[in-house]
Homo-oligomer: A and B are copies of this chain.
Amino acid sequence: MKNLKLASRAAAEQTVISVGDVAFGRDFVVMAGPCSVESEAQTLAAACAVKAAGADILRGGAFKPRTSPYSFQGLGLQGLKILDKARRETGLPIVTEVLDPRDVSWVAEFADILQIGTRNMQNFALLKEVGMSRRPVLLKRGMFSTLEEWLNCAEYILSEGNPDVILCERGIRTFENYTRNTLDLSAVPAIKELTHLPIVIDPTHSTGRLSLIGPMSLAAVASGADGLLIEVHHDPKTALCDADQALTPDLFETLMRQLRPLHAFMRSIAD
């Protein structure tokens, strides 16, 4: 891959990024939680549910990048405080999105992992800013991006001094419209031959369909992914965004009972 230095496969052994009790690049890490933080009650309910089902990290958005300026934009600082409370109650580390370079330093006070969303993958000002942070960065692939462009965005972060980048494939845009996007699962083995950085899969935004999340999560494990980022809402029908695609705690628990054994099995058959 042209121009890659720090992110190239040859530059390092497998990157291992410890967050709480788990490590990306070593363990299979499950991040789960609501799309957006809507209230303390909703966030705590989801946090407790995903914790009980065995999730490793709580996801939840305080800043929401929305297509329309008139859609719910997130609770901001208040949302971060709620996430902080959920962390204290459950012990789960927090991954949350940051949208504005001016917010990076103070959001990093609340977040264990800073998420860069798909629309901001090539927001170079933001990449440089999180590159100067000490928090691990979850870098979503642009829905329009080649693997090469994606890795160059990781390079932006690495070249500012932050070595802890977790790549997240979340679907690319194609002509198919039965699914919200097309999950490019072949990105997993491709990324593993192109870089030493861990890669996780977002089965929720890539498929946009509840019924596909389970099978695609299992397929992600089998493809060699390092983890998952899944939306779970205690009452999806009332969710302020992505109401159609969040798992209920029950569905999530059922899935978790398959994911961990499958991951162990895959290790057992690896050559």
Contact = CB atoms under 8 A, between A and B. Distances in A.
Interface of A: 2-3, 5, 65-71, 99-102, 119-120, 122-126, 142-144, 146-149, 152, 155-156, 159, 172-179, 182-186, 188-190, 193, 206-207, 209, 211-212, 214-216, 218-224, 254, 257-258, 261-262, 265-266, 269, 271
Contact of A177 (B3, B146, B186, B257): B146
A189 B106 CA distance: 42
Nearest to A148: B178
B193 A211 contact: yes
A182 B179 contact: no
A186 B183 contact: yes
A26 to B, nearest CB: 19
Nearest to A171: B186
Contacts of A120: 122-123
A177 B187 CA distance: 11
Give the one of A102, A188, A215 with max B CB within 10 A: A215
B189 A176 contact: no
Contact of A67 (B71, B99, B152, B193): B152
A178 B147 contact: yes
Top 10 nearest A-B pairs (CB, nearest first) are A144-B144, A222-B222, A100-B125, A119-B122, A3-B68, A189-B215, A219-B223, A219-B219, A218-B222, A69-B156
A178 B262 contact: no
Contacts of A184: 174, 176, 182-183
A182 B171 CA distance: 11
B174 A174 contact: yes
Contacts of A216: 185-186, 189, 223
A175 B178 contact: no
Nearest to A194: B178
A194 to B, nearest CB: 8
A172 B179 CA distance: 14
A123 B117 CA distance: 10
Contact of A101 (B100, B119, B211, B224): B100
Contacts of A143: 144
A101 B98 CA distance: 14
Contacts of A214: 189
Contact of A123 (B3, B123, B182): B123
Nearest to A159: B69
